Amino acid sequence: MSFTIRPGSDAFLELTLSACTAQVSGTVLTSDSLPAVGVQVVLIPEEPRRDNHRKFRSETTDQNGKFTIAGLEPGNYKLFSWDIAEEGDEPWFEPDWLKPFESDGTSMHLGESDTKTLQLHLLDLPKDASPQ
């Protein structure tokens, strides 16, 4: 692959290569303890790293409510799950939208080559927190 960066451009290149990436997997359950099918699971970096949206990762649960997010950089994260109805909606990038959910996220530290498995509960979206 080749590319050219022109003078005056604000383009940049960031490469992260490692054989020691982390992985998070698990299951999301509804309030009735049933598998949450087709919902978003979102891994959000700790506060100082949230200005870089490439550090956020999301995945959709399968027919059994299971998810896997692989290839993760070591660091501190919070994991959330919502039923976002519209394809392509990613309101979690907006700090004001995310703020009411902060205490509901599952905090975790991922080290090199960590593999974590956990169970999440689907978070309710209040009407005033719905994606715009």
Contact of 36 with 83, CB cutoff 8 Å:
yes
Domain membership flag for residue 5 = no
Could you tell me if residue 4 is inside a domain?
Answer: no
Q: Is residue 75 part of a domain?
A: yes
User: What tokens appear for 12 in the block?
Assistant: 């940049």
Q: Dump pLDDT digits (tens) for 64-75.
A: 999 999 999 999
Q: How many domains does the chain have?
A: 1
The single residue listed with the structure tokens 């919502």 is: 82
Token pair in block for residue 128: 């005033």
The domain spanning residue 91 has which CATH number?
2.60.40.1120
pLDDT value of position 130? 47
Q: Where on the phi/psi map is residue 60: left (φ > 0), alpha (ψ -120 to 50), or beta? A: beta
In a domain, 48, yes or no: yes
Judge whether 13 lies within some domain.
Answer: no
Q: What's the token pair of residue 46?
A: 């700790």
Residue 16 lies in a domain: no
From first to last of its 132 residues, what are the pLDDT tens digits of the chain? 566 767 777 666 665 556 689 999 999 999 999 999 999 999 999 988 898 888 899 999 999 999 999 999 999 999 999 998 665 678 999 999 999 999 999 999 999 999 999 999 999 886 655 444
Expressed as residue numbers, the domain containing 54 is 22-124
**Cα–Cα distance, 55 to 70 (Å, whole number):** 12
CA distance 112 to 98: 27
Would 10 be classed as within a structural domain?
no
